[in-house]
Structure 1
Amino acid sequence: MTTTEPAALAMAHAPLAHVPLAQRTLPSMLQRQAAVYGERPLLRVAGHQWLHRDAARVAGARAATLAEAGIVRGDRVALMTGNGIEFLDVFLGSAWHGAVVVPINTASMGPQIGYFLGNSAARLLVIAAEWLPRLADVDWTGSPLQTVWIIGPWDGTVPAGLATLVQFARVQALPSAASAGAPAAVDAAPVQPGDPLAILYTSGTTGPAKGVICPHAQYHGWGANSAAVLGVGADDVLCTTLPLFHINALNTFAQAALTGCEVVFESRFSASGFWPSMRANGATVVYLLGAMVPILLAQPPGEGERDHRVRAGLGPGVPQAAARDFLERTGVRLLEGYGSTETNFVIATAPDSPRGGVMGWLRPGFDARVADEDDAALPDGEAGELLLRADEPYAFASGYFGMPDKTVEAWRNLWFHTGDRVVRDPDGAFRFIDRIKDAIRRRGENISSFEVEQVLLSHPGVASCAVYPVRSELAEDEVMASVVVRHVGAFDADALLDFCAARLPYFAVPRYLDVVAALPCTENGKVQKYKLRERGVTATTHERRPAQRAAAPRPAAT
Structure 2
Amino acid sequence: MPDSYLDSIPPRDLTLGRLLGRRAAEDPDGVFFSWAEATTTFRGFETDVDRMAARLVAEGIGAGTHVAVLMDSSPDYLTLWFALARVGAVEIPINTAYLGDVLSHQLTLSAATVCVADAAYAERIGQVASELPGLERLYVRGRAPAVAGPPCRDFADLLTGTADAAPTVEVGHDETAGIIFTSGTTGPSKGVLLSHHYLAAYGTMYADINGLRPDDVLLNFLPFFHVGAKFLTIATLVCGGRMRLLPRLSISTFLDEVSTHGVTNFVAVGGVCNMLLSKPPRADDARSSIRTIYAVPDPADIHEEMERRFGCRMTTVYGSTEVGLPIFRGIDDDYRPGSCGRQSPYYEVRIVDEQDNELPVGEPGELVIRPRRPFLVGSGYIGMPERTVEAWRNLWLHSGDRGRIDADGWFYFEDRATDSLRRRGENISSFEVETLVTGHPAVAEAIAVAAAADVGEDDVWVLVTLRDGMSVGPEELLRYCAEKMPYFMVPRYLDFVEDFPRTPTAKVEKYKLRAAGPGPTSWDRDAHGWRVTREGLVRTVGADLLGSR
C-alpha distance 187-47 of structure 1, shift in aligned 2 (>3 A) = farther
State the partner residue of 1:494.
Answer: 475
Residue pair 2:56, 2:158 contacting (<8 A) in 1 also? no
Given the alignment of the two structures, is residue 95 of structure 1 paired with residue 85 of structure 2, yes or no? yes
RMSD: 2.1
Determine which of 22, 43, 60 is the counterpart of 2:12. Answer: 22
Deviation by residue 1:430-452 (Cα, 9 ceiling, x = unmatched):
01111111111111111100000
Cα distance in structure 2, aligned partners of 1:253 and 1:334 = 20
State the partner residue of 1:523.
Answer: 504
Cα distance in structure 1, aligned partners of 2:37 and 2:299 = 35
Question: Secondary structure of 1:345's match?
Answer: strand
Normalised by the length of structure 1, the TM-score is: 0.92
Report the Cα offset of residue 378 of structure 1: 1.2
Determine which of 403, 407, 414 is the counterpart of 2:395. Answer: 414
Cα distance in structure 2, aligned partners of 1:459 and 1:139 = 23
State the partner residue of 2:524.
Answer: 543
State the partner residue of 2:221.
Answer: 241
Cα distance in structure 1, aligned partners of 2:72 and 2:383 = 27
Deviation by residue 1:392-419 (Cα, 9 ceiling, x = unmatched):
2111110001111111111111111111
Residue pair 1:15, 1:224 contacting (<8 A) in 2 also? yes
Report the Cα offset of residue 32 of structure 1: 0.8
Given the alignment of the two structures, is residue 510 of structure 1 paired with residue 491 of structure 2, yes or no? yes
State the partner residue of 2:544.
Answer: none
Given the alignment of the two structures, is residue 49 of structure 1 paired with residue 31 of structure 2, yes or no? no
Residue pair 1:63, 1:93 contacting (<8 A) in 2 also? yes
Cα distance in structure 1, aligned partners of 2:32 and 2:62 = 28
Determine which of 50, 56, 70 is the counterpart of 1:60. Answer: 50
Greater relative CO, 1 or 2 (CA 8 Å, sep 6+): 1
State the partner residue of 2:422.
Answer: 441
State the partner residue of 1:370.
Answer: 351
State the partner residue of 2:546.
Answer: none
Report the Cα offset of residue 29 of structure 1: 1.1
C-alpha distance 352-488 of structure 1, shift in aligned 2 (>3 A) = farther
Residue pair 2:424, 2:456 contacting (<8 A) in 1 also? no
State the partner residue of 2:69.
Answer: 79
Determine which of 242, 245, 261 is the counterpart of 1:281. Answer: 261
Determine which of 143, 146, 149 is the counterpart of 1:158. Answer: 146
Identity fraction in percent: 34
Cα distance in structure 2, aligned partners of 1:478 and 1:438 = 13
State the partner residue of 1:461.
Answer: 442
Residue pair 1:48, 1:85 contacting (<8 A) in 2 also? no
Report the Cα offset of residue 188 of structure 1: 4.1
Cα distance in structure 1, aligned partners of 2:493 and 2:77 = 35
What is the one-letter code of the residue matched to 1:90?
L
What is the one-letter code of the residue matched to 2:344?
R
Cα distance in structure 1, aligned partners of 2:34 and 2:232 = 12
Cα distance in structure 2, aligned partners of 1:429 and 1:54 = 44
State the partner residue of 1:452.
Answer: 433
Range 294-303 or range 425-434, more displaced: 294-303
C-alpha distance 81-457 of structure 1, shift in aligned 2 (>3 A) = same
Range 115-124 or range 539-548, more displaced: 539-548
State the partner residue of 1:145.
Answer: 135
What is the one-letter code of the residue matched to 1:519?
F
Question: Secondary structure of 1:122's match?
Answer: coil
State the partner residue of 1:251.
Answer: 231
Deviation by residue 1:270-316 (Cα, 9 ceiling, x = unmatched):
22211111111210112111311112222222235335211111001
Range 375-384 or range 344-353, more displaced: 344-353
Question: Secondary structure of 1:272's match?
Answer: helix
Question: Secondary structure of 1:321's match?
Answer: coil
Report the Cα offset of residue 332 of structure 1: 2.5
Determine which of 366, 370, 381 is the counterpart of 2:362. Answer: 381
Residue pair 1:368, 1:387 contacting (<8 A) in 2 also? yes
State the partner residue of 1:6.
Answer: none
State the partner residue of 1:35.
Answer: 25
Cα distance in structure 2, aligned partners of 1:50 and 1:322 = 36
Residue pair 2:50, 2:162 contacting (<8 A) in 1 also? no
Map residues 31-430 of structure 1 onto 2, 5 A cutoff. Answer: 31-152=21-142, 154=143, 156-159=144-147, 162=148, 165=149, 169-179=150-160, 185-303=165-283, 305-354=285-334, 355-430=336-411
Report the Cα offset of residue 18 of structure 1: 2.7
Cα distance in structure 1, aligned partners of 2:382 and 2:43 = 33
Range 91-100 or range 375-384, more displaced: 375-384
What is the one-letter code of the residue matched to 2:172?
Q
Question: Secondary structure of 2:43's match?
Answer: helix
Report the Cα offset of residue 67 of structure 1: 1.4
Report the Cα offset of residue 15 of structure 1: 5.0
What is the one-letter code of the residue matched to 1:279?
S
Deviation by residue 1:116-142 (Cα, 9 ceiling, x = unmatched):
111111111110101122224315335
Normalised by the length of structure 2, the TM-score is: 0.93
Residue pair 2:68, 2:91 contacting (<8 A) in 1 also? yes
Question: Secondary structure of 1:88's match?
Answer: helix
Deviation by residue 1:159-180 (Cα, 9 ceiling, x = unmatched):
4xx2xx0xxx22021034554x
Question: Secondary structure of 1:205's match?
Answer: coil
Residue pair 1:276, 1:304 contacting (<8 A) in 2 also? no
What is the one-letter code of the residue matched to 1:207?
G
State the partner residue of 1:5.
Answer: none
Cα distance in structure 2, aligned partners of 1:194 and 1:547 = 51
Cα distance in structure 1, aligned partners of 2:488 and 2:145 = 30
Report the Cα offset of residue 553 of structure 1: 5.8
Report the Cα offset of residue 184 of structure 1: 5.2
Report the Cα offset of residue 54 of structure 1: 2.4
Residue pair 1:193, 1:217 contacting (<8 A) in 2 also? yes
Residue pair 2:5, 2:207 contacting (<8 A) in 1 also? no
What is the one-letter code of the residue matched to 2:198?
Q
Structure having the larger proportion of residues in strand: 2
Report the Cα offset of residue 381 of structure 1: 1.1
Residue pair 2:367, 2:401 contacting (<8 A) in 1 also? yes
